[in-house]
Amino acid sequence: MRICHVIGARPNFMKAAPVVRALSAYPVEQFIVHTGQHYDFNMSDVFFQQLDMPDPDVNLQVGSGSHAQQTAQIMLHFEPVVLERKPDLVVVYGDVNSTVAAALVCSKLMVRIAHVEAGLRSFDRSMPEEINRLLVDHTSDVLFTPSEDGNRNLAREGVGPERVFFVGNVMIDTLVKMMPEADRRFSSNLPARYALVTLHRPSNVDDLDWLASLLLKLEQVGHELEVIFPVHPRTRQRISNLGIIPSRNGHIRFLEPLPYLEFLGLQKHATVVVTDSGGIQEEATFLGVPCLTVRENTERPVTVTLGTNVLVGRDVTRLADELSGVLTQSKRQGGIPPLWDGHAGERIAKVIVGDRRGGV
């Protein structure tokens, strides 16, 4: 059996690593295609080193562009790879453009597709990722869900239950594996309490008026709680557009994008996390760290119903109120969702190779 893994953006690497590792225990042939959707070293190559993943067998080197340009370029470059290497199954991850591009190519070539992190829905079609999720799920042959709401969403959309497998969250597999090393690298020079901030969604950072008001609130909060802000390249450009030099600025400590291990250590020891990232909502829930998500909705509702996540929307006043609440109250108590146990990759591998020993 020949299996192709398609990855291209930072979250994909963390999701693919446990699956590649688990499948290596079986007599299958694997190869990895890196689309090049993320091409900055700290956003790409370093993850292969830290996650102990094999180097990509193919790098399409697509780079940036509009959604249409990037998706089209990945399709154009990926199709010849599929025709030449003839995989029996192509595994795609998450909801980025690399995922939907690979799925569309394979659906036209009648190559079987497995989608890891299937069934997630924000119910907001203004988000490009939501369109990607819908298209990929409805072209996939095997769907691996990280939480039970994913199964319910797919059933409601008419996806047959024989194609859907609730396996848990592969992001947590990577977190569990890497946490000891992240702890070892964690710097003791940081303040005892701090807020960790990440922002990257265009709907947030491209709105310069909103971004300016958010930074002002964070600066005010920084009088009580230091703010550490590793800045995504897109966000860094927008902050520069506001006339702010993203170095240390008042009570906000701006950093370059961090390698996964360093970021994970920061996240574990944070007093609170402020983010618009889906994966960080999940990680904060597992780590028990309060998470304030500056979005109106989330495709990961289990982090709100069971975890430590609070949706504050784009209301910066509410964000400041919630941050103050974190400082004056004990940590929000949240549970860990079912099957977020570090073994999702193993369950996925069993399904792929047809090994039902010990169940799925």
CATH number of the domain residue 225 falls in: 3.40.50.2000
Give the span between the Cα atoms of 241 and 215, in whole angstroms.
13
What does pTM read for this prediction? Answer: 0.91
Length of the chain: 360
Q: What does the pLDDT read at residue 224?
A: 86
Say whether pLDDT at 334 is over 50.
yes
The count of domains in the chain is 2
**pLDDT higher for 93 or 259?**
93
- For residue 276, pLDDT over 90 is answered with yes
Six token digits for residue 307? 């975890």
Least confident window among 27-41, 92-106, 230-244, 331-345:
27-41
Least Cα distance to 42 among 10, 65, 17 occurs for 10
Q: Is the pLDDT of residue 214 over 80?
A: yes
Indicate whether 188 and 319 sit together in one domain. Answer: yes
Does position 330 have pLDDT exceeding 60, yes or no?
Answer: no
Both 22 and 119 in one domain: the answer is yes
How confident is the model at residue 140, as a pLDDT?
98
Q: What is the average pLDDT across 157-169?
A: 97
Per-residue exposure over 287-305, b if at least 16 CB sit within 10 Å of its own CB, e if not? bebbbbbbbeebbbbbbbe
Residue 187: pLDDT band (50, 70, 90) is confident
Element (H, E) at 282: helix 278-287
Q: Where in the sequence is the domain holding 144, given as residue range(s)?
A: 2-168+340-353
Q: Is the predicted pLDDT of residue 329 greater than 90, yes or no?
A: no
Contact status, residue 241 vs residue 208, Cβ threshold 8 Å: yes
Shared domain for 140 and 251, answered yes or no, is no
Does residue 360 form part of some domain? no
The overall average pLDDT reported for the chain is: 91
Residue 239 and residue 106 share a domain: no
Shared domain check, 189 and 158: no
**How many Å apart are CA 97 and CA 194, to the nearest integer?**
33
Same domain, 151 and 186: no
Is residue 134 scored above 50 in pLDDT? Answer: yes
Show Cβ contacts of residue 306 under 8 Å, excluding neighbours closer than 6 positions: 285, 334, 335, 336, 337
Residue 249 binned pLDDT confidence (cut-offs 50, 70, 90): low
C-alpha span between 18 and 343 (Å, rounded): 8
Q: Mapping DSSP to helix (H, G, I), strand (E, B) and coil, where does residue 107 land?
A: helix
Query: Which amino acids are annotated catalytic?
Result: 200
